[in-house]
């Protein structure tokens, strides 16, 4: 597992452009914090910090982690990977999780920037916040796996990649409370790990969480389901490649 992670780290580190999302998104927090100060609403600082982290994490997952399989295809590596399909698939899961986990840095960044600007952005329940953030990273990695697999199978999804951000920020409750969304999409927010997790993250940051165990359990289940769906999609793509239905070179 460490070999897979170190390999992925080297691949990402060799292309500094891949850090763009993580580097730019926290800068948004500066704009938001400045606005809060101008409006004299320091009470909203923790929400701003978490929103910025959530958007960074999701964007990084969709734009960087979800490109890992496609990059392997472009390099002509998938064909060799099919010689060790189980190990290759496992390495993909690990590599995508590892890449998505880099977005945890954004959480630390926005909290520190907030503190430096004089806001109270340190969460009330740090441990719970970190735990929920880690679960959110896993769920986002699952979504990236799914997009990754679909991207190889259905080339058109690449052109829709930009559309995979704002609708999900809304659905995940990052920009507005998920409850504010129209009634017909409420059921989607209930089964979407991001909306569950983000609400829990906000509550943990504010220090007033009820039913921690049951909410964590639900979040864990949704995250595992998302990971499972992503891994299954990747398995389907690799099987299709073996059947000759997926071009192995980009």
Partner 1 sequence: MTGTGGSMLAVRGLSRRFESRKAPRLALDDVTFDVARGEVLGLLGPNGAGKTTLVRIITTLLLPTSGGATVAGHDVVRDARAVRRTVGLLLGGERGLYSRLTARQNLRYWAALHGLDTRTGRRRVTELLEELGLSDRADEQVRTYSRGMLQRVHLARALLSRAELLIMDEPTNGMDPHAAAAFDDLVRRQRAEGTTVLLATHDMRQAQSLCDRVALIDGGRLRAIGAPDTLLTDAQLLRTVTARGFRAELTPAVRAIGGVLVQSDDDSELVARVTDGAALGALLNALVTVGINEISVTPPSLTELYRARISDRDFQLR
Q: Which of these, 248, 223, 239, 38, lies nearest to 138 by C-alpha position?
A: 223
Please give the residues from 91 up to 150 whose contact with partner 1 meets the rule CB under 8 A: 91
How far apart CA 169 and CA 80 sit, in angstroms, is 37
Of the candidate residues 34, 35, 75, 208, the single one contacting partner 1 (CB under 8 A): 75
* Shortest Å distance, C-beta 240 to partner 1: 11
Does 11 contact partner 1 by CB under 8 A? yes
CB 66 within 8 A of CB 144: yes
What's the min distance (Å) between Cβ of 7 and partner 1? Answer: 4
Candidate residues 31, 34, 35, 76; the one interacting with partner 1 per rule CB under 8 A: 76
Q: Specify whether the CB–CB gap between 26 and 111 falls below 8 A.
A: no
| Contact between 34 and partner 1 per CB under 8 A | no
Distances from the Cα of 90 to the Cα of 50, 51, 145, angstroms: 30, 31, 11
Whole-angstrom CA distances from 128 to 64, 179, 209 are 27, 23, 10
Q: Is the Cβ of residue 10 or residue 210 nearer to partner 1 in the bound state?
A: 10
Q: Which stretch binds partner 1 (CB under 8 A): 1-9, 148-156, 185-193, 216-224?
A: 1-9
Contact 129, 204 (CB under 8 A): yes
User: How many alpha carbons lie under 13 Å from residue 37 in its C-beta half-sphere?
Assistant: 11
Q: Which phi and psi angles does 182 have, rounded to 5°?
A: -60, 150
Q: Which of 7, 125, 161, 165 binds partner 1 (CB under 8 A)?
A: 7
Any contact of residue 84 with partner 1 (CB under 8 A)? Answer: yes
Overall residue count recorded for the chain in this entry: 250
Rounded least distance, CB 214 to partner 1, Å: 39
* Binding status of residue 87 toward partner 1 by CB under 8 A: yes
| Shortest distance, position 157 Cβ to partner 1, whole Å | 22
Nearest approach, Cβ of residue 20 and partner 1 (Å): 17
> Does the protein bind partner 1 through residue 247 (CB under 8 A)?
no
Closer to partner 1 by Cβ: residue 41 or 245? 245
Residue at token pair 């994490």: 57
- CB of 68 or CB of 132, closer to partner 1: 68
Q: Cα–Cα distances in Å, from 37 out to 40, 46, 86, 112, 124?
A: 5, 13, 52, 16, 21
Q: Which of 16, 182, 184, 244 binds partner 1 (CB under 8 A)?
A: 244
Q: Are 140 and 174 in contact (CB under 8 A)?
A: no
Instruction: Tell whether residue 228 is a contact of partner 1 (CB under 8 A).
Output: no
The single residue among 34, 80, 120, 155 that binds partner 1, judged by CB under 8 A, is 80
Say which residue the tokens 């951000």 belong to.
165
User: Would you say 59 and 165 are in contact if contact means Cβ atoms under 8 Å apart?
Assistant: yes
Q: Which residues bind partner 1 (CB under 8 A)?
A: 2-4, 7, 10-11, 14-15, 75-77, 79-88, 91, 242-244, 249
């Amino acid at each position: 597992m460490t070999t897979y992670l170190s390999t992925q780290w080297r691949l990402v580190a060799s292309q500094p452009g891949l850090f763009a999302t993580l580097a730019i998104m926290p800068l948004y927090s500066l704009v938001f914090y400045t606005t809060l100060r101008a409006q004299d609403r320091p009470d909203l600082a923790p929400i701003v910090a978490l929103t910025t982290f959530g958007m960074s994490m999701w964007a990084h997952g969709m734009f960087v982690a979800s490109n890992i399989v496609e990059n392997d295809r472009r390099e002509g590596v998938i064909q060799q990977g099919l010689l060790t399909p189980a190990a290759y698939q496992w390495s993909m899961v690990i590599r995508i999780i590892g890449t998505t986990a880099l977005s945890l840095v954004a959480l630390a960044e926005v909290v520190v920037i907030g503190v430096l600007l004089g806001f109270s952005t340190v969460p009330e329940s740090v441990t719970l916040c970190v735990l929920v953030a880690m679960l959110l990273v896993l769920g986002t990695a699952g979504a990236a796996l799914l997009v990754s697999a679909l991207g190889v199978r259905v080339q058109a999804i690449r052109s829709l990649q930009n559309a995979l951000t704002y609708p999900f920020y809304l659905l995940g409750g990052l920009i507005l409370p998920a409850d504010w969304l129209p009634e017909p999409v409420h059921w989607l927010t209930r089964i979407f790990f991001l909306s569950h997790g983000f609400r829990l993250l906000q509550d943990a940051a504010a220090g007033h969480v009820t039913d921690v165990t049951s909410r964590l359990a639900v979040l864990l289940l949704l995250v595992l389901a998302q990971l499972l769906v992503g891994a299954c999609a990747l398995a389907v793509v690799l099987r299709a490649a073996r059947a000759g239905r997926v071009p192995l070179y980009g």
